[in-house]
Copies of this chain bind each other. A is one copy, B any other.
């Protein structure tokens, strides 16, 4: 039969075990060859799809989630790919590997090992598409020193783009062959997803988008081609623990697909993804019109990926669908000529705070336009706005607090009051009686935290600086002083 490639014998938990096999290269192996494998640990069985990687090489990727000995066996209609079996050991995850992100406590997120994860996303739609390795490295450097731990990024190109490589073979709309994928494109993309993973950044992959307008035609493929594409993407990328699936950006701007089509495609991803990565879809028109959002209560949706300019609706969306709210587009900081891309850093910071203090999450983006280079939201590069530094400050504040701060507020343990554009001279806090609280005044723009002396209990008048963008952080004094402090309980 065929030559046996050497297979790995160990992999860390939530790492990627990759089985490589040689097989036929004639015909169109993407279409004609089926390959899956069955991975088993005790009575847990996972069956990911394999994929053709060009040059006669087939691969099956698997992300184990149990420590111990896993065995596997392949299945294919092609004899030389069928029946390969073996075993490997799944080891402790390495430092910083907490597994994929999951929904936790209804409205929040956590890594699979239980470590808290709060999404502080940003947007670089096509940072991997331009064939500019130097700019991609620069983007990674920028992200590494930024507060961002999620990037929204597209797999497919937009109208007018002529990237050196595509998900499909070919480089122009005329010579694209939608029956064949381009392994080199994916290898490059996977490298970047792995780079993000190393930096602790989730890759919120946008699978479709409407910015095609008859150029590539990727927004108007038939049902079979859509699923053929999704299946290949999932086979290659689902084993990366930092992947999220965003079925489409601004799905409602795509006039070729109905909501039912989207429902079907999201359910297809739900069926094919062995790891059940986070799944959502992102609306367009809601930004300035009153058409309804996608019905995020549908069971295949894990979180609400919303576009809207008004963070004060967060409470309403939480109550409506009882899933995490992530406002993935809330307008971008910048100086674009388009309304969606030219809010100030102050406004962007305000929208982050308004959303997060209501128990939602927001994704950042910058659209500063220059004669000589593309905007961050399009191509990454460097950040120049004023909000990202404030996001870092906000992230620090949020991470110092409880993971589920809305619950903590209900429990009377922790409060974060944000006053937005309001500039109170003082504020009448109605604190619970019988519990002592520390109070700090936060200047969210100048990024200062000023503790007030003493502790507070019951109705308390707090003098404020009378500036906009002020917040109060209120914590149980005992929490701060450590267990056993105050109250005179026996030791």
Chain A residues within 8 Å of B, Cβ to Cβ: 334-337, 339, 342-344, 347, 368-369, 419, 421-428, 464, 466, 468
CA A464 to CA B338, docked complex, whole Å:
13
Taking CB as reference atom, which chain B residue is nearest A467? Answer: B344
Contact B347 A466 (CB under 8 A): no
Taking CB as reference atom, which chain B residue is nearest A421? Answer: B347
CA A368 to CA B466, docked complex, whole Å:
10
Nearest 8 CB-CB pairings of A with B:
A335-B425, A335-B466, A342-B422, A347-B421, A344-B468, A342-B423, A342-B424, A337-B426
- The 8 Å CB contact of A428, one of B335, B337, B344, B423, is B337
Contacts of A334 in B (CB 8 A): 423
Contacts of A423 in B (CB 8 A): 334-335, 342-344
Contact B343 A427 (CB under 8 A): no
In the complex, which of the residues A335, A368, A464 has the most CB atoms of chain B within 10 Å of its own CB atom? A335
Contact B425 A343 (CB under 8 A): no
Contacts of A421 in B (CB 8 A): 343-344, 347
Taking CB as reference atom, which chain B residue is nearest A428? Answer: B337
Contacts of A339 in B (CB 8 A): 422
Contacts of A428 in B (CB 8 A): 337
Contact A347 B426 (CB under 8 A): no
| Besides the known contacts A342-B419, A342-B425, A347-B421, 4 further A-B residue pairs in the complex with CB atoms under 8 A apart | A337-B427, A337-B428, A339-B422, A344-B421
CA A342 to CA B426, docked complex, whole Å:
10
Contact B422 A468 (CB under 8 A): no
CA A426 to CA B369, docked complex, whole Å:
10
Contacts of A427 in B (CB 8 A): 337
Smallest CB–CB gap between A470 and chain B, Å? Answer: 10
Taking CB as reference atom, which chain B residue is nearest A339? Answer: B422
Contact B466 A422 (CB under 8 A): no
Taking CB as reference atom, which chain B residue is nearest A425? Answer: B335
Smallest CB–CB gap between A425 and chain B, Å? Answer: 4
Contacts of A335 in B (CB 8 A): 423-425, 464, 466
- The 8 Å CB contact of A425, one of B369, B422, B426, is B369
Contacts of A347 in B (CB 8 A): 421, 468
Taking CB as reference atom, which chain B residue is nearest A419? Answer: B342
In the complex, which of the residues A339, A369, A421 has the most CB atoms of chain B within 10 Å of its own CB atom? A421
CA A419 to CA B464, docked complex, whole Å:
31
Smallest CB–CB gap between A354 and chain B, Å? Answer: 13
Smallest CB–CB gap between A55 and chain B, Å? Answer: 47
CA A421 to CA B342, docked complex, whole Å:
8
Smallest CB–CB gap between A21 and chain B, Å? Answer: 53
CA A419 to CA B468, docked complex, whole Å:
21
Smallest CB–CB gap between A150 and chain B, Å? Answer: 25
Contacts of A344 in B (CB 8 A): 421, 423, 468
Query: Can you list 6 pairs linking A and B with CB atoms under 8 Å apart?
Result: A335-B423, A336-B425, A337-B425, A342-B423, A343-B421, A347-B421
CA A270 to CA B65, docked complex, whole Å:
77
Contacts of A466 in B (CB 8 A): 335, 342
CA A188 to CA B289, docked complex, whole Å:
51
Contacts of A342 in B (CB 8 A): 419, 422-425, 466
Taking CB as reference atom, which chain B residue is nearest A343? Answer: B421
Taking CB as reference atom, which chain B residue is nearest A348? Answer: B421
Contacts of A424 in B (CB 8 A): 335-337, 342
Smallest CB–CB gap between A336 and chain B, Å? Answer: 7
Smallest CB–CB gap between A71 and chain B, Å? Answer: 59
Smallest CB–CB gap between A384 and chain B, Å? Answer: 12
CA A336 to CA B466, docked complex, whole Å:
9
CA A337 to CA B428, docked complex, whole Å:
7
Contacts of A343 in B (CB 8 A): 421-423
Smallest CB–CB gap between A318 and chain B, Å? Answer: 17
In the complex, which of the residues A344, A422, A428, A464 has the most CB atoms of chain B within 10 Å of its own CB atom? A422
Smallest CB–CB gap between A173 and chain B, Å? Answer: 27
CA A334 to CA B339, docked complex, whole Å:
29
Contacts of A419 in B (CB 8 A): 342
Taking CB as reference atom, which chain B residue is nearest A466? Answer: B335
CA A464 to CA B337, docked complex, whole Å:
9
